[in-house]
Amino acid sequence: MTKLLNALPLALIACTAAACSAAEDSTSGEPQFHNTSTAETSADNTESTEASSAPTSAKDKEGDSGLKELDKEDFIATNLGHATSTVYGVSSPNDRVACTVTEDQGLIGCSVMFADPPLYPATGQPLWLSNSVNFDADAGFYPNVKMGGDAAAPTPLEAGSTVTMNGVTFESVSEDEFTVKIDGHHFTVKDDGEYYSDTFPPQPDGEGKAMTGTICGDLGNGEYVYAKENGTNCARAMEVLEYYKNYDFAPMEGGNRGYLMEDDFSCSYNADPGWPDEPDYRWLGCSIEDGGAVVVLDPTARALVSEKGGQR
């Protein structure tokens, strides 16, 4: 009787891209996360200040942040002829971030050139390196993968300026620091593409459910458990993997893919749809009835994901 987990190599990564620190610690398999708190609240301006008698335009106005407030009308996108409402496009001075906002829906999303893209191992998705950031009213900002679709032609927000439209505020602190804020949440891209946010890395909610890309836990030896579906039950996933890890397979049981099926879950080593069905691209994944799915990734994963992504 052997423990198959020790006999089969895992082929993927341990560190969520934007979550990982720069290359200075790239030899470590442990994720290095940039997490900022939401403690940065604006000052309570209860005392009025003496205003200048001279009229000031929106473009000349300086807000509480010390940044020059620009007129949102300067950021209206004209390339989306099919749009049914006003669409705005805003980008960072260095073009690392480009966002779309609509007058009737708010923030649609932002494309981001991450220095170290967070992994977004969605079930059945051929690409796992995040290239965008979306917003969820409950979860806040989260990196994900966007494939195709129209985007508003963005207008760069010059350094030292800010603009707000439909509840979304953009702040261009410098040529290399750009922040997006909405409903008390924020994300910042700076330091040549490093990603920081009050909701990164994502955490399970009060019921223990996690969104795609959340690290549910650590199996040891640099092996991390990523949620592959929104609503994944991280607590149950870790119980399942601990059971699998310590399961004694009988002779011929499980075959060469380490398949194990119990009442409410199944686990095996397989390549996801869209990935080459080769040993290097086979990783341990588990599906849980009414509990989502997870994948176990080790430090070799990022190189494989990046290599495959570059071929597409």
Question: pLDDT per residue over 137-158, tens digit each?
Answer: 988 999 999 987 777 789 999 9
Q: Which residues contact 140 (CB under 8 A, 6 or more apart)?
A: 185, 197, 198, 199
The pLDDT-based confidence of 83 (bands split at 50, 70, 90) is low
Q: What's the pLDDT score for residue 256?
A: 64
In this model, does residue 280 exceed pLDDT 80?
yes
Average pLDDT, rounded, for the chain: 80
State the pLDDT at residue 70.
98
Q: What is the pLDDT of residues 2-36, one digit of tens each?
A: 333 433 333 333 333 333 333 344 444 545 555 44
**Residue 311: what pLDDT?**
52
Confidence tier at 254 by pLDDT (50, 70, 90): low
Contacts of 169 (CB under 8 A, 6+ apart): 162, 163, 180, 181, 182
Specify the pLDDT at position 309: 66
Quote the pTM value.
Answer: 0.77
What phi and psi, each to the nearest 5 degrees, are found at residue 237?
-60, -40
Q: Which two tokens stand for residue 101?
A: 């906002």
pLDDT of 167 = 94
Higher pLDDT, 218 or 84: 218
By residue count, the chain amounts to 312
pLDDT tens string 210-244: 999 999 999 988 899 999 999 999 999 999 999 99
- Percent residues over pLDDT 90 in the chain: 53
Q: How far apart are CA 133 and CA 146, in angstroms?
A: 9
pLDDT reading at 165 higher than 70: yes
Determine the Cα–Cα distance for residues 54 and 140; give it in Å rounded to an integer.
Answer: 40
